[in-house]
Amino acid sequence: MRPRGAWDWKAGLSEARIVKEQGLEAKVAAIVEPAIEQVGYRLVRVRLSNMNGATLQIMAERPDGTMTVEDCEAVSRAISPILDMDDPIDRAYHLEVSSPGIDRPLVRIGDFRLWAGHLMKLETNRLLNERKRFRGKVVEVTDTEFVLDRDQVAYGEERSVRIPFDAVGEARLVLTDDLIDASLKADKAARKARGEGESESEPGDADDAPSARN
C-alpha cells in the first residue's frame, strides 16, 4: 500500500500543526518553529526527556517528508543560536535534531490524508465512544475530522469511529511491512522530484545531530 497520491506535499508547506506541545515544550516550539521554517523545513515535534541528564529532541522534515543527516545538521545550525539566546531550559541539555522516522507522528491534517489506509494508533484528549485510545486505519478525511476503521473491536462496538481533529492528543503510524514499502517509495519519489539521486539510507534512518547546551 502506498500513500495516496492526491495529497501534494507542496500544499502542506505552510500547513499548521493540529497536534502541539504543552508547557515548556510548547515554549520551545514557539521559539524554534519560525527559524526552522525560515530555512525551508517543517517542525514535527518537540520533546524534552531526562535521557542523558536532559535531552531536547527537535523532530523536523522537509515539506516533501524527507530528512537527511545534512538536513538535520542544517536545522541544528539554525536553531542553536536562538536557543542559546532565549535559553528556555534552566539546566544543561543535549540537543538532538532528527527525522520523524517511518513510524512517524501525525501532526497535520495532511499527514492523515497522506497516510490514510495505513495502521495507526492514537490517543484522544477526551472520551470518544467511552474510550481515549484507538488503533486502526484512516478511511476518510475532511477538514474537521476523520473516520478510523478500528482493527479490533469488542462485541457490540462499532468498527468505524469519527474523530474530530481537535480531539487528537497524540497519533503515530504503526510500523508494518506495507508502511516500510510505502515510505521507501515516497522517499524515492520525493528525491526524484527534487532531481536528486537515490539516498543510501532509508527514510527515518538519518542520524541525530546532538550538541550540548547549557
- pLDDT recorded at residue 145: 98
Contacts of residue 46, Cβ cutoff 8 Å, sequence gap at least 6 = 21, 25, 26, 28, 29, 32, 56, 57, 58, 59
Would the pLDDT of 1 be above 60?
no
Grid coordinates given for 127: 472520551
What are 61-83's pLDDT values in tens digits?
999 999 999 999 999 999 999 99
Output the pLDDT for position 8: 52
* Mutual angle of helices 69-86 and 23-38, in 10-degree steps: 120
Checking if the pLDDT of 214 tops 80, the result is no
Supply the Cα-derived Rg of the chain in whole angstroms.
Answer: 18
Question: What is the model's pTM?
Answer: 0.85
Q: Show Cβ contacts of residue 19 under 8 Å, excluding neighbours closer than 6 positions.
A: 105, 106, 107, 168, 169, 170, 171
Per the CB < 8 A criterion, the answer to whether 36 and 60 are in contact is yes
Q: Which domains does the chain possess?
A: 9-102+198-213 (3.30.300.70)
Q: Mean pLDDT over all residues of the chain?
A: 88
pLDDT digits (tens, 9 = 90+) for 130-155: 899 999 999 999 999 999 999 988 88
Helices in 58-127 by DSSP H: which ranges?
69-86, 109-114
Report how far residue 175's alpha carbon sits from residue 15's, in angstroms, rounded to the nearest whole number. 25
Residue 201 clears pLDDT 70, i.e. is over it: no
Q: Can you point out the beta strands (E) in 15-159?
A: 42-49, 55-61, 93-98, 119-128, 131-141, 145-150
pLDDT more than 70, % of the chain:
86
Residue 6: what residue type?
A: A
The 119-128 sheet, strands edge to edge: 160-164, 145-150, 131-141, 119-128, 168-173
Q: Tens digit of pLDDT for each residue in 7-52?
A: 454 555 579 999 999 999 999 999 999 999 999 999 999 999 998 8
Per the structure block, which three cell numbers stand in for 125? 484528549
